[in-house]
Chain A
Amino acid sequence: MTASGRARRPIVPFLKLPDDGEPYLAGQRCTRCRAVYLGARRACSKCTAEGPFEEIPLSRKGRLWVWSIVHQSAPGIPVPYVVGVVDLPEGVSVRCNLVDVEPDPKHLVFGMPVEMTTGVSQQDKDGNDVVAFYFRPAAG
């Protein structure tokens, strides 16, 4: 529970919010071919082995693979926002919003180091805080 008395829940199951530590993303690694996934699956879509999979904590730091700036979105969604694909060192990439950066191409550099941060994105229908992850520019 937060100070406000509301419960916190992650926006996706692979975002972990431990009570006694920093939030992190969890990957499922195929123990045969080492491919890493966000979220559980029945078998490895790369090598087809039915696991076993091991859960591994993913690094909070990664590098920006590609990005876009969304100026027109679905109704009710504030624009512009910067989106991207971040490569993590464990060999998996993650789709995310980029924060703490101007929505301007000149501030977005392929390969730039980024780090994960979290924040309350919205309340769910029961009034719980929905925690999302974001990435922001980081020191190399």
Chain B
Amino acid sequence: MRDVYVGGVAMIRFGRYPDRDVPDLGAEAALLALKDAGLGIRDVELLACGSLFQANAMVGQRVLQEIGQTGIPVVNVANACATGSTAFREAWLAVASGEHEVAMAVGVEQMGKMGLLGAPSGGARIRTEGVIGSGLMPAVFGQAGMEHMRKYGTTVEQFAKVAVKNHRHSVKNPLSQYQVEVSLEDVLNARMVAYPNTLYMCCPTGDGAAAAIVVSPQKARQLGAKVKVLASVLTSDPWSERDLTLPDVNTLTRNAAAKAYERAGVGPDDLDLVELHDCFATAELLHYENLGLCKEGEAGRAIDAGETAHGGRIPVNVSGGLLSKGHPLGATGVAGIYEITTHLRGAAGARQVEGAKVGMSHVIGLGSACTLNVLGV
């Protein structure tokens, strides 16, 4: 495997675009990323396109039909919430393997106001939701948080502080779906969705797109691209005690972290910022420990101490995270690459993590898939 660099990145503001369609959103991000890289679509040798709810609709090809049908190989990727980050890894592999000099990943999703993920489809004849437990994401991640509470005595307030932090961060991100600060009291008093996650502790649905272009070392020199992919790792859920009953989001993240740190030759202490999968506030605290950002059982203390806030020891989700920036499923993983790259270039404006040299983007797709991408300059 050879080194791979990030040549260009872009994302459009996450939000709601009811008058547009998926290929159009993806095409906008793709053109912005090409412009950012200083390349044209004729330079791109492979496209990996992540779009979950239109996974059977050839979105990658339809993006090219909007911006240039060059006849290149296209793969359309679906991997739950890790769809975009898996597409990025496919593009990375295409260049790392030596097969291609330039590859593009596009992540795009249009969710509208589709409601709760995991809700039974209209075709189900026998209702199981709310009869034999819950498969809805708020309840799944509520219970995952309750495991942490059970093991370590983590409090509802500590989980709620994650939402306060990430919503505060988003105020400085012009591409965030929401840019509104909320107080701890606001979060705790908001409508309960699934205990202990209240409304502000759940990510919104929305629309969005992001794109990233990865290039060979030779191409990177030509373009002046400095951000290098230090590791790109994908894991699935190994057997663990209750994984088939309550998806275990911890073990596959720990496996991915061990591999990513080894590949990248860095440890958690070397990270200047992390974008991690805060689909619910409860999830963020679990991943502090899963990624080694703090010691076992100390995630609650870390959020209390402000260690993961902007300006803290290890800033987490300075973009606003999924909780506030939004989570258009297929777009999320590529948007994580955009965020880290932007900081490593020193171009993140008001939310810049000063002097950032190494950053990591983590995504979980339930069912389950985990990606970790470590970038450095």
A residues bordering B, Cβ < 8 Å?
11-12, 35, 37-38, 45-46, 65-75, 77-79, 81, 83-85, 87, 92-97, 105, 110, 121-122, 124-125, 130, 132-134
Contact = CB atoms under 8 A, between A and B. Distances in A.
Given A70-B138, A71-B192, A95-B134, 5 more contacts: A65-B246, A73-B134, A83-B139, A85-B245, A97-B133
Interface of B: 115-116, 119-120, 125-134, 136, 138-139, 142-143, 146-147, 150, 191-196, 239, 241-242, 244-246
B246 A70 contact: no
A131 B245 CA distance: 20
Contacts of B115: 74-75
A68 B131 contact: no
A121 B136 CA distance: 19
A70 B130 contact: yes
A105 B129 CA distance: 21
Contacts of A37: 244
Contacts of B142: 68
A69 B197 CA distance: 10
A47 B245 CA distance: 18
A73 B136 contact: yes
B193 to A, nearest CB: 5
23 contacts: A11-B126, A35-B239, A65-B147, A65-B150, A68-B134, A68-B138, A68-B143, A70-B130, A70-B136, A71-B192, A72-B138, A73-B129, A74-B115, A75-B115, A78-B130, A81-B130, A83-B143, A85-B245, A96-B132, A97-B132, A121-B131, A132-B132, A133-B132
Q: 8 closest pairs, A vs B, by CB?
A: A95-B133, A68-B142, A74-B119, A66-B146, A69-B195, A46-B239, A93-B245, A83-B134
A97 B139 CA distance: 12
- Mostly helix, strand, loop or mixed at chain A's interface? strand
A68 B130 contact: no
Contacts of A79: 130
Contacts of B131: 11, 97, 121-122, 132
Given A68-B143, A68-B146, A81-B130, A74 B245 contact: no
Given A83-B143, A94-B245, A66 B130 contact: no
Nearest to A87: B242
Contacts of A134: 132
Contact of A71 (B126, B193, B239): B193
Contacts of A121: 127, 131
A73 B246 contact: no
A110 B129 CA distance: 22
A68 B241 contact: no
Given A69-B192, A122-B126, A133-B132, A95 B116 contact: no
Contact of A125 (B125, B130, B133, B193): B125
A86 to B, nearest CB: 9
Contact of A130 (B119, B126, B196): B126
Contact of A110 (B125, B132, B150, B245): B150
A9 B53 CA distance: 33
A37 B310 CA distance: 45
Nearest to B240: A46
Contacts of B241: 93
A40 to B, nearest CB: 13
B127 to A, nearest CB: 6
B191 A105 contact: no
Nearest to A104: B195
Contacts of A77: 127, 129-130
Contacts of A130: 126
Contacts of A45: 239, 244
A68 B195 CA distance: 5
A29 to B, nearest CB: 14
B139 A93 contact: no
A67 B129 contact: no
A130 B124 CA distance: 14
Contact of A65 (B120, B126, B242): B242
A7 B116 CA distance: 34
A122 B142 CA distance: 27
Contacts of A132: 131-132
Nearest to A66: B146
A67 to B, nearest CB: 6
A105 B127 contact: no
